[in-house]
């Protein structure tokens, strides 16, 4: 078990900088998920922790040792790759025991450790198989088994579920989480899938273009995204963004939504916002509800999913998605009125994309 600390970690390939000073503290036993669109540098960062990429600048600390110049095998970490990277010419047991064999551990110890890992992952019946004789999910479990056998300080996962079909992905997600709860090994997990991030992480690190946008618990990111990028990245369907302007009605500050499609109340603290200020209003699809005092909207598409109905509608020229618990059976073109409670608003500065803290706004 160990902590992982990144201090101003940078990476450049030639003149091209891909990571611009990453600071991150991973606590002992924590499950951290690095998430972001492809090309954001999350995998590169993971590979730098692993020792598979050199560190251009800054420090990577595992436990209390600076590991910048240590080769992977001296960092006591284990990594699970996206394509499993099982050795095709070795049986499952040999794959799992390879690291111990390299370390010249005694035969009985290798058998014991492989057996222990196989029991944890329910692989005992497969130990004599070759990787090509296994299904995708089984291969994934063997790859994890290979990681557990070594009892590492840190687990690294690089998009381990991307090659699995949707159903298996959900199942393996739960297995990895259960495994972490059982072993409590510090884990850094990379994915581009925000649902994986939300469901598995103790804390999520949202990255974009080589920088950290926000670090926080899943619900924190969901409830208080620091900018439009995080707001739209986390949550599915994505948060709606609507142009708005602060107006006044009966002496109270209100929000004129989408070029006059509606006028919505602001939270009590919204009084501090200057009249006439342009804002970008973020509303989660599930925060919208139908109400006569709401903004005028035209239905474009309704998508019943069974438990809920996804409705895409047009509010003042902007497409907005709503998720409703009730069954909505409206034809495209129908007129409705929708609104959201003021406390569910997220206000962003249209110029910078940053969150406007309503309580502190001036």
Partner 1 sequence: MDNIVASFAERRTDFVIKLLLVGIAVFWLMPFVVIFLTAIRSQGDMIRNGIFSWPEELRWDNFVAAWDTGRFNIYFRNSLFLILVKVPLGLLIASLAAYPLAKMKFRGSDTVFILFLVGLAVPIQVTLQPLLIMMSSLGIANTLWALIPPYLAFGLPFQIFVMRGFFRILPNELIEAARMDGASETSIFFRIMLPLSLPPLATLAIIDTLATWNEFLIALVLISANSSRTVPIGLMQFQGQYQSQFTLLMAGVLISIIPVLLIFLFLQRYFVAGLAGSVKG
In this chain, which of 5, 43, 44, 99 binds partner 1, going by CB under 8 A? 99
CB of 79 to partner 1, least distance (A): 5
Q: In Å, how far are 181, 244, 288, 318 from 298, measured between CA atoms?
A: 47, 18, 14, 10
Under rule CB under 8 A, residue 356 binds partner 1: no
Beta bridge partners of 57: 10
- Of 10, 32, 21, the closest CA to residue 221 belongs to 32
| CB 121, min distance to partner 1, A | 17
Task: Give, in order, the Cα–Cα distances in Å from 344 to each of 189, 215, 254, 260, 279.
Answer: 30, 21, 15, 20, 15
Least Å from the CB of residue 129 to partner 1? 13
Span from 18-26, 59-67, 87-95, 244-252 in contact with partner 1 (CB under 8 A): 87-95
Residue of the chain from 16, 132, 167, 250 that contacts partner 1 (CB under 8 A): 132
List the one residue from 17, 61, 85, 290 that touches partner 1 (CB under 8 A).
85
Number of residues this chain uses to bind partner 1 (CB under 8 A): 25
Closer residue to partner 1 in complex, CB, 43/302 = 43
Minimum distance from residue 7 beta carbon to partner 1 (Å):
23
Per CB under 8 A, 71 contacts partner 1 = yes
191 binds partner 1 (CB under 8 A): no
Least CB distance to partner 1 at residue 110 (A)? 13
Phi-psi region of 36 (alpha: psi -120 to 50; beta: other; left: phi over 0): left
Of 203, 194, 291, which Cα lies nearest the Cα of 236? 194
Q: Does 88 bind partner 1 (CB under 8 A)?
A: yes
Closest approach of Cβ 312 to partner 1, in Å?
Answer: 40
When asked if residue 167 is in the footprint of partner 1 (CB under 8 A), the reply is: no
Chain centroid to CA 283: 19
Q: Determine contact, residues 45/157, Cβ cutoff 8 Å.
A: no
Residue 228 three-state SS: helix
Nearer to partner 1, 65 or 223 (CB): 65
By the rule CB under 8 A, 312 interacts with partner 1: no
Q: Determine the Cα–Cα distance for residues 342 and 243; give it in Å rounded to an integer.
A: 16
Q: Is 70 in the site for partner 1 (CB under 8 A)?
A: no
Compute the least distance from the CB of residue 70 to partner 1, in Å.
12
What is the rounded CA–CA span in Å between residue 263 and residue 293?
A: 9
> What length is written for the chain?
362
Closer residue to partner 1, CB minimum distance, 48 or 226: 48
Contacts of 164 (CB under 8 A, 6+ apart): 136, 137, 140, 172
- Interface positions with partner 1 (CB under 8 A): 50-52, 71-73, 77-79, 81-83, 85-89, 98-99, 102-103, 131-132, 146, 150
């Amino acid at each position: 078990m160990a902590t992982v600390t990144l201090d101003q970690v940078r990476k450049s390939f030639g003149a091209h900088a891909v990571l611009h000073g990453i600071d991150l503290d991973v606590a002992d036993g924590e499950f951290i998920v690095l998430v972001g669109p492809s090309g954001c540098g999350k995998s590169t960062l993971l590979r730098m922790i692993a020792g598979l990429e050199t560190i251009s600048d800054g420090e990577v600390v595992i436990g209390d040792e600076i590991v910048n110049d240590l080769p992977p095998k001296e960092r006591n970490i284990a990594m699970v790759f996206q394509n499993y990277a099982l050795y095709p010419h070795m049986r499952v047991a040999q794959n799992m025991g390879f690291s111990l064999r390299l370390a010249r551990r005694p035969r009985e110890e290798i058998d014991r450790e492989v057996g222990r890992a196989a029991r944890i992952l329910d692989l005992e019946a497969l130990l004599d198989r070759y990787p090509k004789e296994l299904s995708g999910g089984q291969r994934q479990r063997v790859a994890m088994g290979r990681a557990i056998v070594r009892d590492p300080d840190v687990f690294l996962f690089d998009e381990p579920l991307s090659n699995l079909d949707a159903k298996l992905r959900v199942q393996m997600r739960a297995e990895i989480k259960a495994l972490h709860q059982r072993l409590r090994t510090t884990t850094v997990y990379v994915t581009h899938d925000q649902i994986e991030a939300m469901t598995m992480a103790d804390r999520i690190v949202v990255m974009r273009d080589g920088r950290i946008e926000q670090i926080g618990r899943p619900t924190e990111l969901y409830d208080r995204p620091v900018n439009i990028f995080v707001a739209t990245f986390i949550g599915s369907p994505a948060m709606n963004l609507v142009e708005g302007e602060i107006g006044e009605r009966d002496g109270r500050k209100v929000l004129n939504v989408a070029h006059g499609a509606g006028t919505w109340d602001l939270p009590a603290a919204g009084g501090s916002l200057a009249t006439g200020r342009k804002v970008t209003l973020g509303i989660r699809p599930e925060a919208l509800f139908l109400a006569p005092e709401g903004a005028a909207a035209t239905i474009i598409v309704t998508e019943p999913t069974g438990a809920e109905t996804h409705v895409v509608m047009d509010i003042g020229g902007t497409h907005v998605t709503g998720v409703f618990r009730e069954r909505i059976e409206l034809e495209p073109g129908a007129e409705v009125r929708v609104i959201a409670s003021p406390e569910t608003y997220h206000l962003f500065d249209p110029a910078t994309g940053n969150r406007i803290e309503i309580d502190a706004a001036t």
